[in-house]
Structure 1
Amino acid sequence: MPHLPLRQVGPDAAMQSASERWLADLDAAISAPGADWNLVVRDTLCALAWPGSGTWEERLAATPLSDGSRLALLALDPRNITLEPEYYADVDPVRFARVKPLLWLWYSFDRLPIGGQHVALGIELRRLLAPRIFRRVGRNFKCFQHVEFSFGYNMEVGDDCVVHRHVLLDDRGGITMGNRVSIADYANIYSHTHSITEQVDVTNLPTILEDDVRITYHATVLAGVRVGENGMVGAAAVATKDVRPYHVNVGIPAKSIAVKSTAPPEHARRARIPPHSSS
Structure 2
Amino acid sequence: MTAHDLKPTPEAETIFKKWIAHLNDEFTRHQGYDRRAEIVRDELHQIILGRPHGGRLNSTLVTELPMNVLIESLDPRNLTLEAESLPDLDPERFYPRKPLLFFWQAFDRSPLGLNHWLGTRFRTMLAHHIFASAGKGLQIAAGIKMIFGYNITAEENAILHRDVFLDDRQPITLRGEVGAR
Q: Which TM-score applies when normalising by structure 2?
A: 0.89
Aligned pair 1:145/2:142, yes or no? yes
- Dislocated runs of 4+, deviation >6 Å: none
**Shift, 1:55, TM fit:** 2.1
**1:182 aligned to 172, 177, 180, which one?**
177
Give 2:22's aligned residue. Answer: 25
Aligned partners of 1:33, 1:40: CA distance in 2, in Å? 9
CA pair 174-26 structure 1, distance change in 2 beyond 3 A: same
Aligned pair 1:171/2:168, yes or no? yes
Aligned pair 1:48/2:47, yes or no? yes
CA pair 25-168 structure 1, distance change in 2 beyond 3 A: same
CA pair 77-156 structure 1, distance change in 2 beyond 3 A: same
8 Å CA contact 1:56, 1:73 repeated in 2: no
Aligned partners of 1:77, 1:10: CA distance in 2, in Å? 31
Alignment of 1:113-262 (within 5 A): 113-115=111-113, 117-178=114-175, 181-184=176-179, 216=180
**Shift, 1:154, TM fit:** 0.2
Q: Which runs of 5+ in 2 are unaligned?
A: none
**Shift, 1:6, TM fit:** 5.2
Q: Kindly provide the amino acid, as one letter, of the partner of residue 49 in structure 2.
A: W
**Shift, 1:124, TM fit:** 0.8
Aligned partners of 1:120, 1:146: CA distance in 2, in Å? 14
Q: Kindly provide the amino acid, as one letter, of the partner of residue 128 in structure 1.
A: M
Give 2:65's aligned residue. Answer: 67
Give 2:37's aligned residue. Answer: 38
8 Å CA contact 1:141, 1:161 repeated in 2: yes
Larger Cα Rg: Structure 1 or Structure 2?
1
8 Å CA contact 1:143, 1:162 repeated in 2: yes
**Shift, 1:91, TM fit:** 0.8
Aligned partners of 2:91, 2:81: CA distance in 1, in Å? 12
**Shift, 1:174, TM fit:** 1.4
Which has the larger share of strand? 1
Q: Determine what percentage of the aligned residue pairs are the same residue.
A: 31
**Shift, 1:61, TM fit:** 4.5
CA pair 68-24 structure 1, distance change in 2 beyond 3 A: same
CA pair 23-79 structure 1, distance change in 2 beyond 3 A: same
**Shift, 1:63, TM fit:** 8.8
8 Å CA contact 2:131, 2:149 repeated in 1: yes
Aligned partners of 1:148, 1:10: CA distance in 2, in Å? 26
Give 1:275's aligned residue. Answer: none
Query: Secondary structure at the residue paired with 2:153?
Result: strand
CA pair 63-16 structure 1, distance change in 2 beyond 3 A: farther
**RMSD (Å), alpha carbons:** 2.1
Which has the larger share of helix? 2
**Shift, 1:156, TM fit:** 0.8
Q: Kindly provide the amino acid, as one letter, of the partner of residue 92 in structure 1.
A: D
**Shift, 1:34, TM fit:** 6.3
Q: Which TM-score applies when normalising by structure 1?
A: 0.59
